[in-house]
Amino acid sequence: MKKLVWLTALLTSISSASFADNWDMPTPYGDGTHHTQVAKSFAEEVNEKSGGKLTIKVHSGGSLIKHPEIHRAVKTRQVQIGEVFVGRLGNIDPVFKLDNIPFLATDFDSAEKLYKASKPALNKQLENDGLMLLYAAPWPAQDLYSNKPVNSLDDLAGLKMRAYSPTTSRLADLMGTTPVNIPFSDVAQAFTTNAVDAMVTSPSTGVNSQSWDYISHFTTISAWIPKNMMFVNKKIFDRLDSDTQKVILTAAANAEKKGWELGRQLAVEHTNILKEKGMIVAEPSQALDSSLREIGATMVNEWLDESGADGKTIIDAYKSM
Ligand code: PCA
């Protein structure tokens, strides 16, 4: 009898162990970035609430899989779940490019509307690759870093501009600068070795890379509010029992809420840190602002040409909100 009890206990532990899933989650940015903090709290909530059935391990800062490979790694089930910067996928489909179009949605309320308007297309595009969107969270608005005051685009003419997506390369062209693709991890070094002269990114990325050590001027052009998104391989998600699926979806909704709150909060806090650290923070001159807005209008039109009827549906939905 004792043997039977022992055997039953053994079988139970084997079967529950075999039902416990372990997922690896690569993220592109480091632990200091709010996106990684949100990803970690998402994973912790799932690990805690799934009652041991699912454990997600976060591998931040490209430590398991480098940023350009994360989308494919989840698609091919090399890993189960992952995070990417939406605009980076611009060459897969125009809906991803929309995330980096300047002067279309420059404050958080508008950015939330644009997200809502583009979500069906975003979902559809991810589904085409066997992926499912879990949540998306914003960066603070994108501002201009330079080594001199920029009163008009002439002040930037011919400079090397960091780009981080197909859309920002196009922006650099239209600004009369030369785009240079530099991942976040190499930003500080790129400036100190003069591989780039200027960049458009959030105050958070300045703080995360200690921009006051390598650049002096920060102009608050508030050009757009890009996002990172978390997605899971749909087949892998579908294999989970419905309780665990619910746990994931609830944690994703919580993560999205937290991500938007943090984006709004850090936009202010991180700009203040740049000031405190001695960077020269200025609002854009009218000349700079109006020529940037013209470029924005050109880029919206180019995007509409590229994205056709699907793009028009998104922009119409956004404008009617
Ligand atoms: N920081 C990221 C993307 C957008 C942002 O604000 C970066 O510069 O790589």
For the segment 221-231, what is each residue's pLDDT rounded down to a tens digit?
Answer: 999 999 999 99
Banded pLDDT at 173 (limits 50, 70, 90): very high
Q: Is the CB of 226 under 6 A from ligand 1?
A: yes
* Candidate of 201, 262, 274 to mutate for ligand 1, largest count of ligand atoms within 8 Å of Cβ: 201
Average pLDDT over residues 5-28: 68
Q: Report if residue 232 sits inside a domain.
A: yes
Q: Is residue 7 part of a domain?
A: no
Instruction: Tell me the pLDDT tens digit for each residue of 151-170.
Output: 999 999 999 999 999 999 99
Domain membership of residue 164 (yes or no) is yes
Same domain, 78 and 124: yes
Ligand 1 centroid from CA 34, angstroms: 11
Within 10 A of 296 (CB to CB), how many other CB atoms are there?
19
Domain assignment present for 197: yes
Cα of 186 to ligand 1 centre, how many Å? 12
Give 205 Cα–ligand 1 centroid separation in angstroms.
Answer: 6
- Which residues are CB-neighbours of 33 under 8 A, at least 6 positions away? 204, 208
- Give the CA distances from residue 275 to residues 106, 203, 264, 286, in Å, rounded to whole numbers and listed in that order: 21, 10, 18, 22
Residue 6 has pLDDT above 70, yes or no: no
Cβ–ligand 1 distance for 33 under 6 Å, the answer: no
Across 175-201, average pLDDT: 98
Query: Could you tell me the distance, in angstroms and rounded to a whole number, from the CA of residue 142 to the centre of ligand 1?
Result: 8
Is 1 a member of any domain?
no
d(CA 172, CA 2): 75
The CB of 209 under 6 Å from ligand 1? The reply is no
The best mutation among 84, 202, 274 to test binding of ligand 1, ranked by most ligand atoms within 8 Å of the C-beta, falls on: 202
The verdict on 215 and 288 lying in the same domain is: yes
Same domain, 148 and 254: no
172 & 53 share domain: no
* Global pTM value: 0.94
φ, ψ dihedrals at 29, nearest 5°: -105, 165
Mean pLDDT of 251-260: 98
Residue 5 within any structural domain of the chain: no
Residues 310 and 255 in one domain: no
164 lines ligand 1 (CB under 6 A): yes
What's the 221 CA to ligand 1 centre distance in angstroms? Answer: 15
Instruction: Using the predicted structure, report yes or no on whether residue 273 has a pLDDT greater than 50.
Output: yes
Residue 262 lies in a domain: yes
Q: Is the CB of 237 under 6 A from ligand 1?
A: no
Question: Is 1's pLDDT higher than 80?
Answer: no
- Closest protein CA for atom 7 of ligand 1: 184
| R_g (Cα) of the chain, nearest Å | 22
Q: What is the pLDDT of residue 18?
A: 52
Say yes or no: 172 and 121 in one domain.
no
Average pLDDT over every residue of 105-126:
98
Spacing of C-alpha 274 from chain mean position: 21
Question: What average pLDDT is seen over the chain?
Answer: 95
Residues 57 and 149 occupy one common structural domain: no
CATH of the domain at 255: 3.40.190.170
State the residue range of the domain holding 181.
143-223+279-320
How much distance in Å is there from the Cα of 227 to the middle of ligand 1? Answer: 9
Residue-wise pLDDT for 62-79, tens only, equals 999 999 999 999 999 999
Query: Is 29 touching ligand 1 by the criterion CB < 6 Å?
Result: no
Clarify whether residues 159 and 216 are in a common domain.
yes
The total number of structural domains that make up the chain: 2
Q: Which atom belonging to ligand 1 lies closest to the Cα atom of 142?
A: 6
Query: What is the reported pLDDT for 14?
Result: 47
What integer pLDDT is reported at residue 138 of this predicted model? Answer: 98
| Whether residues 152 and 214 fall in one domain | yes
Whether residue 11 is contained in a domain is answered as no
**Confidence band of 17 (pLDDT split at 50, 70, 90):** very low
pLDDT in tens, 22-53: 999 999 999 999 999 999 999 999 999 999 99
**Plot region of 248 (φ>0 → left; ψ -120 to 50 → alpha; else → beta):** alpha
Q: Give the whole-angstrom CA distance, residue 139 versus residue 259.
A: 9
Residue identifier of the C-alpha nearest atom 3 of ligand 1: 201
CA–CA dist 187, 209 (Å, integer): 7
Q: Does the Cβ of 42 fall within 6 Å of ligand 1?
A: no
User: What does the pLDDT read at residue 3?
Assistant: 56
Query: Is the model's pLDDT at 4 over the cut of 80?
Result: no
